[in-house]
Amino acid sequence: MTYDRSKVVGRSVVPRQQKEAQEMTSLRAVLLVAAVAYGAEAASLCSGVGGCKSRQDAVDPLTKDDLGELRGENLEVAPPLEEREKLRSSSAIHPWPGAQVPYAVWGAQATKDMVETALSFLEDHTCVNFTKRDGEARYLLIKEGDGGCWTSSLGYPSSDKKVTINLGPGCVHGSQIRHEVMHALGFPHEHTRPDRADYVSIKWANIKESAKSQYYMDERYPTMEVPYDLHSIMHYGKFDFAVDKSQPTMVPDPWVDGGLGGHSLSWRDKRKVNVFYQCPDV
């Protein structure tokens, strides 16, 4: 919306002070309309499961939506038992053929919007393409549901089954969706790499029993040629799943500055995807 600074009344030029007053009134009206529209958009985008702190949190894929700030703890859990068996049933993790991932989304429109934003971000920063499912037997299903945040299997399924991402209450946030989709693309947690002992120490006694499987080493890690990434979106933080929240569950080597984990894809995350899918960096 614009307004005309040279507006006249009839054929007479409006006196300068009166003109300035009219312009200020018009400007206030423009700003009020914009503010109402801005708030309405935020309410629409944040009305689904999990909500969001602000419009920026809803629409910006680079928002640092710190899971600790938003929910107080990491809500990722192991999949249900019938799904969990798929995680380690294969001796290898395979990429989706041709870097093409058919997908479907079940949930409220706000959730679908957040998922589409996360997938677009991954497409913009890697060579993977996500296409709406058109009858494929093997596809990625992203759905709202109970029971926390989890992904049923890593990479392309070995049989005609779907890979399921579950987004429980509190899980519909950009960084959490990107994290789970990275699992679906074939990536275990960074801190489960076989070379993790060179970079972090796991404090097993302080990890909740229900979360210990999230720290088991995975020898199948698909892109060991890319260096270990302490700031990967796939790396847990220092205090995730702590029994005693004043003590860490994972400690980096003393030479490492700052925290562990990330809210968006690091450069090495992007590189790992493109190496695994055998395509050039984008």
Strand pairing report for 140-144 and 163-167: parallel
Contact 193, 218 (CB under 8 A): yes
Q: Which of 180, 190, 219, 225 is catalytic?
A: 180
Asked whether residue 191 is marked as a ligand-binding residue, the answer is no
Location of structure tokens 């600790």: 68
Confirm whether 180 is a catalytic residue.
yes
The answer to the question of whether 189 is labelled as a binding residue is yes
Alpha carbons within 13 A on the beta-carbon side of 248: 11
Are residues 154 and 177 in contact, defined by beta-carbon separation less than 8 angstroms? no
In degrees, rounded to 5, the angle at the alpha carbon of residue 169 between the alpha carbons of residues 164 and 173 is: 75
Separation between Cα atoms, residue 231 and residue 257, nearest integer Å: 11
The length of the chain in residues reads: 282
> In DSSP terms, which residues pair with 100 in a beta bridge?
129
263 is in an annotated binding site: no
Binding-site residues for Zn(2+):
179, 183, 189
- Residues annotated catalytic, as ranges: 180
